[in-house]
Amino acid sequence: MILPMACTHGVGRVVTTTDGILSTPAASHLIRTSSGCIGGIILSASHNPGGPEEDFGVKVNGANGGPAPEKLSDAIHLATLNLESYAIAEAATVCLGRPGRHQLGTTAVVSAQVWAHLP
């Protein structure tokens, strides 16, 4: 869902992981180490209430990899309350099963392996 919406709205580059699955700390690392990254959207089954059963969360992290400031989160939430419509590109499926670069309309999709080296 995120990739077709990003494509529709002119996002130039999306960086994700192989299979699109990673932990929140790994997402933070990916955001901080991706050149030119201004932030990230994390879809999670978590304690962050969302969805019909309040078991699905959307986290927005800033360029520093940490949670977006509350002021920004509040502004995003307010904007969602005023949506009258949204657009999703009808685009080809992008295989995230292995690392690589893909093109989805005008959006470059980079599927990367993320490794955290622990001391």
Q: How far apart are CA 87 and CA 24, in angstroms?
A: 27
Q: Single out the catalytic residue among 23, 34, 44, 46.
A: 46
Q: Are 58 and 42 in contact (CB under 8 A)?
A: yes
Got the DSSP string for 24-82? HHHHHHHHHHSTT--EEEEEESSSS--TTTT--EEEEEETTSSBPPHHHHHHHHHHHHT
35 is catalytic: no
What is the set of active-site residues? Answer: 46
